[in-house]
Amino acid sequence: MAEFTSNSVEEYFKGKTILVTGATGFLTKVFVEKILRVQPNIKRLYLLVRASNPDVALQRLHTEVFGKELFKIQREKWGEKFSSFLSEKVVAVAGDVSLHNFGIKDQILVKEMLEEIEIIVHSAATVTFDERYDIAMGTNTMGAYNAINFAKMCPRIEVFLFVSTGLIPEEPFRMGQTIKTSSKLDISLEKQLIEEKLSDIQTRNANEKTITSMMKELGTTRANLHGWQDTYAFTKAMGEMVVTSTKGNIPLIITRPTAIIGTHSEPFEGWIEGVRTIDFVFVEYFKGAITSFVGNPEIILDLIPVDMVANSMIIALLVHSKNNSSNNLIYHIGTSFDDKNTEKLRMAIKGVGSVEREFNLDPKSIDWKDYLMNVHFPGLVKYSMQPKM
Residues binding ligand NAP (CB under 6 A): 22-27, 50, 96-98, 123-127, 139, 163, 165, 236, 257, 259-260, 276-277
> Closer CB to ligand NAP, residue 257 or residue 355?
257
> Closer CB to ligand NAP, residue 147 or residue 250?
147
> Closer CB to ligand NAP, residue 90 or residue 127?
127
* Closest separation in Å from C-beta 268 to ligand NAP: 19
DSSP character for 388? Answer: P
* Closest separation in Å from C-beta 141 to ligand NAP: 12
* Closest separation in Å from C-beta 36 to ligand NAP: 17
> Closer CB to ligand NAP, residue 8 or residue 126?
126
Helix axes 231-246, 142-152, angle to 10 degrees: 20
Identify whether 236 is a catalytic site residue: yes
* Closest separation in Å from C-beta 4 to ligand NAP: 26
> Closer CB to ligand NAP, residue 120 or residue 355?
120
**Nearest by Cα to 43 from 52, 35, 34:** 35
* Secondary element (H or E) of residue 34: helix 26-38
Of 12, 133, 145, 232, catalytic: 232
Q: For residues 359 and 171, give the distance between their C-alpha atoms in angstroms, rounded to a whole number.
A: 24
In order, the DSSP letters of 242-284 are HHHHH-TT--EEEEEE-EEES-SSSSSTT---S--TTHHHHHH
* Closest separation in Å from C-beta 292 to ligand NAP: 24
Of 16, 29, 216, 236, catalytic: 236
Between the CA atoms of 121, 124, 128 and 134, what dihedral angle is there, to the nearest 10 degrees?
A: -120
Identify whether 133 is a catalytic site residue: no
Angle at 279 between CA 277 and CA 284, to 5 degrees: 125
Look at residue 20 and give its three-state secondary structure.
Answer: strand
- Sign of CA pseudo-dihedral 131, 133, 134, 139: positive
Q: Which residues are catalytic?
A: 232, 236
